[in-house]
Amino acid sequence: MIAAGTCEKGFYCPSNSVYTSGTLYYEPYRCPMGTYNAFSGKSSLSDCIACPAGKYCGAEALEAVSGDCAAGFYCATLSPFEKPAFDDASNNYGKCPAGYHCVASTSVPTACAAGKYSAMTKLEDNTNCKPCEPGHYCATAGLSSPTGECTPGYFCAEGSTSATAADCTATNYCPQGSANQETCPIGFYNTLTRQGSCTECEAGSTCFNGQKANCPKGYYCP
């Protein structure tokens, strides 16, 4: 109990504070977790200050913030936890979501860049964002999984941002999901670029290293 007229920091004392019968003392209200009050003489819950961006207020009746939000988590406002174990329904605080990373004192999670992704939550910095796997592409920032496989006729190296990252050249072929282009096998050829398969060598021709030539004299090419 506190003497009347001396509402302290960390508390608020509305006119209906509970007085103790026959005394000049009353029971003040504590500012709740997720808030603090740096000033004395306050009378309303609204005088309790919301814990600011990147900080947490981990107890009742605080006069100042408790400290910084931990890496791997975000604290936009009103956070009562350094490492929130659950995600607030209003997105005020929580675990850093998949596809994002959160350094210490983060208020808004930062997306993994295009060409990268992360299926894990609570990443602490951008070095934990994974490059898109070869044969796949990650078209936008903030992905929890690759966007999809590389388009037939193209190949996608690690970290690609487009399904048509690189053209498959003549004499080669690139089926869907190719990480590299492949030379047409013996008996097949390609004269065109951006092909997902090779053409079978016609009778009277020979095909090697993806190129077609007439059957040499003295040989039979069915």
Residue 23 has what pLDDT? 61
CA torsion through residues 107, 109, 113, 116, sign: positive
Give tens-digit pLDDT for 84-132: 988 999 999 999 999 999 999 999 999 999 999 999 999 999 999 999 9
Count of other CB atoms within 10 angstroms of residue 82 = 18
Higher pLDDT, 173 or 217: 173
Structure tokens at 205: 């021709």
Least confident of 52-61, 96-105, 131-140, 199-208: 199-208
Residue 20 has what pLDDT? 57
Higher pLDDT, 188 or 26: 188
> Which residues are within 8 A (CB) of 135 and not within 5 positions of it... i.e. 6 or more apart?
149, 150, 155, 156, 177, 178, 179
56: part of which helix (H) or strand (E)?
A: strand 55-56
Residue 216 has what pLDDT? 63
Residue 14 has what pLDDT? 80
Residue 213 has what pLDDT? 84
Burial of residue 169 (number of CB atoms within 10 Å: 0-12, 13-18, 19+): middle
Higher pLDDT, 156 or 25: 156
Give tens-digit pLDDT for 13-49: 887 566 555 566 667 889 999 999 999 888 889 999 9
* Residue type (1 letter), 134: P
- Kindly indicate the confidence band of residue 1, based on its pLDDT and cuts at 50, 70 and 90: low
